[in-house]
Structure 1
Amino acid sequence: MTNQQLISTLQTLSLPHNLSAVVGIIRGIERETLRITEQGRLSSKPHSAELGSALTHKYITTDFSEALLEFITPAQADSALTLKQLEDIHKFTLSKLDDEILWPISMPCFIKHQDEIALAQYGTSNTGQMKTLYREGLKNRYGSMMQAIAGVHFNISFPESFWVKLQELQNDTQELQDFISASYLAVIRNFKRNLWLISYLFGASPALCSSFLQGRETKLPFESFGKGSLYLPYGTALRLGDLGYTNSAQSALNVTYNNLDDYIAGIRSAITTPSGLYNAIGDYPDGRRKQLNHNILQIENEFYSPIRPKRNTLAGEKPSEALARGGIEYIEVRALDVNPFSSVGISLEQMRFLDVFLTYCALESSPLMSVAEQAQASANLSAVVNNGRDPELVLSRNGEATKLQTWGANLFADLALVADYLDKAYKTDEYSHTIATLSQWIVNSEMTFSGQYMSKLLASGLDNGAYAFSLAQAYKAKFAAQDYSTLTADIFAEQAKHSLQQQREIEQNDTVSFETFLADYFA
């Protein structure tokens, strides 16, 4: 059944005097990847000084561990340029890693024990020490193994002209920024309702090395192959499931996305409410802290959500304070596995799909979402994570049992309409081409990333780790052979030098003790 309201909105937006309103979508990518030795083991080397300071570098930093790199592209309107810049960051980084390579999948390589995973270090400043202590807390709360998982974050903001036009169409009279914030929350609600589709199409972690479990019991029906690899026959994105970025204490949080005040209140409650579970962690025998505090969340970044509302923060400002000050500026999609078939972990086709999908989420009606509906969306995601490629899989849509293939076909019919609108606005045919291609994946699950990955992995006769290692070697060779296209080695070298100087200045400008600094931060 086609969506009449969506058709009507798209017809109005497609009128000649309205069409340019959506032009100017801004995007940025953050890609995480582990540094691996030539023996296929986690690197134990510290972050290279030739890559600059992980605290202050614009493009190259670290996430949880010294070995987990994070690459950041500048925010801009040209997707193809964004990917070229991401390639240049990869090329430069690999040129400074000697015999190391970059892991090309989300689930980690063989790690004998979590103590091999060294926490990221950011220098002696109060800010740097706080970042490391936060990671210490994550280790003591969830274990380091979960933190060795890598993903790709996709940041997107729609141009103000798009929101102005939508506000006009809806006869909405509130302040523009209030309308924008409310609209981004509507996008988030629709994203969560349909998140299972992202996992189905782009989930690329159906297999893992058995060392990841560290002897933990699991009820998942894993099948084994090779020396120590496990997979779910119909799995898509184990990273998004119970084995990945989950936190049982967080499941009780009442963070809703119906209005900005309630969202901020939910987050603030989590960072100020003591947790009995984490209170038991205590300190080290020498009195050193094991975590920033005993609250449900140490800081806001600990909230594991597949999508977040964001605003760029001022110095010393918490994310929720930035949102309270200026409203929502952009959204961060955190649900993407590393794409093993791309040397940079994400493809132009995925970026185009996300443009269409998120525009659809902005234009489709988005009723308020109850806690029960959020739970239903989570249950749908879990079903697809574990069994997404089962042709008989049934999901719950508005409380009714619906086959994944039926719901997927309905969604792609709507996405095709949105793609046509974006094609007209951007004077291209790439959006429609992308949607037409990916719509075939609903019918044939072997075309999905997880389907392709499992068929290539099993055909290779290799263990999961050995197969991923072969991809990593091929990508390293590719980058060594190609030239820089937008950013140069000199630009990176200068940024590395500048970032190290910035770190020194931050360290020299500290005037209070670390304990005082923390007390001020949490005051």
Structure 2
Amino acid sequence: MTEFINRLQKVASNPQAFKKAGRGIERETLRFTLGGSLSSRPHPVGVGSALTHKYITTDFAESLLEFITPVSNDVDTVINQLEDVHHYTVSHMGEEKLWPLSMPCFVIKDDDITLAQYGESNVGQLKTTYREGLKRRYGSVMQVISGVHFNFSFSTQFWDELFGEQTEEDRQSSVSDAYFSLIRNYYRFGWLIPYFFGASPALCSSFIQGRETSMEFESLGNTLYLPYATSLRLSDLGYTNDAQSDLKISLNSVDEYVEGLNKAIRTPSAEFAKIGLKDGEKHIQLNANVLQIENELYAPIRPKRVAKSGERPSEALERSGVEYIEVRSLDVNPFSSVGVDKDQVRFLDLFLTWAVLTDSAPMNDGEMACWKDNWNKIIEKGRKPGLELQIGCQGEKLTQKAWAERVFDDLLLIAKEMDSVNGDDEYQQTHQRLTAMIEDPELTISGRLLAETKKGGGIGKIGCDLAVQHRETHLNHQYSFYTKEELDAEVERSILAQKEIESNDKQSFSEYLEDYFSYLK
């Protein structure tokens, strides 16, 4: 009996171990106009304060909406919550629509993009200044690439069955170690996510205007594509950060990770120092370090803990260990009106459970480079028949199909256990649909989208057509989790909360920044 099966049987002995898993989703999407241009309007006033609203906010840009669900224990619930907040928001957007793709289109230059605005409070100004720094460091166009983030936590019952009785201190340590084991396995095998769900095999030519690339694109009008690509969003052209490539933050323990993160936010950057901190009286970045703040760290997965007021993410991890993980490798699913579907959530349930129950040795920088090479192969040519990936750094190779089949043998065992608990066969159905994608790569989201793009006259046309369809879906939606009254009340609460924050500020913004970054001294 393998250790994996032994661990699976342990946790499956308690039905609540799987039923009480926590899930939350953050979905990003650009507002755009009938003509296909990026919206120049401010955040819709009818949806409340972007600073304080629980479910509807903005990301980098004023036009880049972000929808956030609370934690729930049910797949249907998290999708219903997303559908409700999409419906509410679209109902307050007039004729504007939501861009259904990860890669932006019809954005000509950085100055077309208005940074997200959060009011006059110091915390609001900090958020906008941070974005000003991102703009000047990496350019605004890269920052409006959209994605879906999936937050996941295992239940207390899961850990109880896996570890048995422990002191609180030992449990915290065991859970953190388990999450970091998961993270390392995610780097090893997480290329399955862009293989199945990558949704950016093509982009508008305007996106790379003035940028050098070694990619051998084929063209279709104003559309550029790679014939076997899955997720250009995750490629060097997409949401990546060259300045961070030398950070080498360890994934072997929470202590090593926090130590690396603390070093990164204290490491000066000669390149970013050239930008300066102010333009006249205006702050244009928070500092000139490699990372302005910890959130600037680009990573396909992050260990997380809910932070207390005024606490940095690394301080929260140092205080009480890892509480959940944030998966950041999902492109926006263009075929779902909310950017993600139940099959994707169920696959992540299966895969993350497998990743935590499967042996996961410590990882050095050399091994990390090998796994990143696998990701890059899948990102640029993942649907190519016979594509070979490395197995570690030992020289052994395996095709993406053969490797996926190996993992899927284990995933089926988990799917059967989860279905047994739920009294249905939903996880096995998901497993079956994805197995078909292993056999035929053109059934993947990237395969389907590229076929539609070639047939439909380019990625811009496909994006606009899907946006029109999704807008109708949103407008016709009937509330299934929230009520209109609840969401109206949250709008009012958020507006009052922002006003209260602004009225309580007693420092100038410069004084606030001085205090905020006192830990760097």
Normalised to the residue count of structure 2, the TM-score between the two structures is 0.97
Which residue is 2:128 aligned to? 132
C-alpha contact (below 8 Å) 2:371/2:392 kept by paired residues? no
Q: 1:23-68: CA deviations, max 9, x gaps?
A: 2011010000000001111000011221100000001000000000
Which residue is 2:262 aligned to? 268
Deviation at 1:311, TM superposition (A): 0.7
Which residue is 2:104 aligned to? 108
Matches within 5 A, 1:139-150: 139-150=135-146
Identify the match of residue 432 of structure 1 among 410, 428, 434. 428
Q: Which amino acid aligns with 1:379?
A: D
Q: 1:487-508: CA deviations, max 9, x gaps?
A: 1222222111110110010001
DSSP 3-state at the match of 1:29: strand
Within 2, Cα distance between the matches of 1:38 and 1:488?
Answer: 29
Within 1, Cα distance between the matches of 2:11 and 2:118?
Answer: 48
Deviation at 1:168, TM superposition (A): 2.7
1:35 is the counterpart of 2:31: yes
Which residue is 1:441 aligned to? 437
Within 1, Cα distance between the matches of 2:107 and 2:442?
Answer: 30
Q: 1:192-235: CA deviations, max 9, x gaps?
A: 11111111000000010011112212110111002x11011000
DSSP 3-state at the match of 1:367: coil
Identify the match of residue 49 of structure 2 among 53, 56, 70. 53
Q: 1:372-431: CA deviations, max 9, x gaps?
A: 111111111111100001102111112222111111111111111121122223332111
Which residue is 1:217 aligned to? 212
Which residue is 1:393 aligned to? 387
Deviation at 1:283, TM superposition (A): 4.2
C-alpha contact (below 8 Å) 2:11/2:158 kept by paired residues? no
Identify the match of residue 406 of structure 1 among 377, 402, 405. 402
1:311 is the counterpart of 2:309: no
- Cα distance change of structure 1 residues 128 and 473 upon mapping to structure 2, 3 Å threshold: same
Identify the match of residue 282 of structure 1 among 253, 273, 276. 276
Identify the match of residue 79 of structure 1 among 71, 75, 82. 75
Q: 1:74-101: CA deviations, max 9, x gaps?
A: 1111110111110111111111110100
1:506 is the counterpart of 2:504: no
Deviation at 1:448, TM superposition (A): 0.6
Within 2, Cα distance between the matches of 1:388 and 1:194?
Answer: 13
Deviation at 1:165, TM superposition (A): 1.2
Normalised to the residue count of structure 1, the TM-score between the two structures is 0.96
Which residue is 1:99 aligned to? 95
Within 1, Cα distance between the matches of 2:83 and 2:10?
Answer: 39
Q: Which amino acid aligns with 1:179?
A: S
Matches within 5 A, 1:199-214: 199-214=194-209
Q: Which amino acid aligns with 1:512?
A: Q
Q: Where does structure 1 lack aligned partners over 5 or more consecutive residues?
A: none
1:348 is the counterpart of 2:342: yes
Q: Which amino acid aligns with 2:440?
A: N
Within 2, Cα distance between the matches of 1:172 and 1:377?
Answer: 36
State the identity %.
Answer: 49
Within 2, Cα distance between the matches of 1:77 and 1:362?
Answer: 19
DSSP 3-state at the match of 2:140: coil
1:465 is the counterpart of 2:463: no
Which residue is 1:8 aligned to? 6
Within 2, Cα distance between the matches of 1:323 and 1:297?
Answer: 18
Identify the match of residue 173 of structure 2 among 168, 175, 178. 178
Q: Which amino acid aligns with 1:508?
A: S
C-alpha contact (below 8 Å) 2:277/2:286 kept by paired residues? no
- Cα distance change of structure 1 residues 287 and 173 upon mapping to structure 2, 3 Å threshold: closer
Q: 1:232-256: CA deviations, max 9, x gaps?
A: 1000000011011111110100211
Which residue is 1:168 aligned to? 164
DSSP 3-state at the match of 2:30: strand
DSSP 3-state at the match of 1:333: strand
- Cα distance change of structure 1 residues 132 and 19 upon mapping to structure 2, 3 Å threshold: same
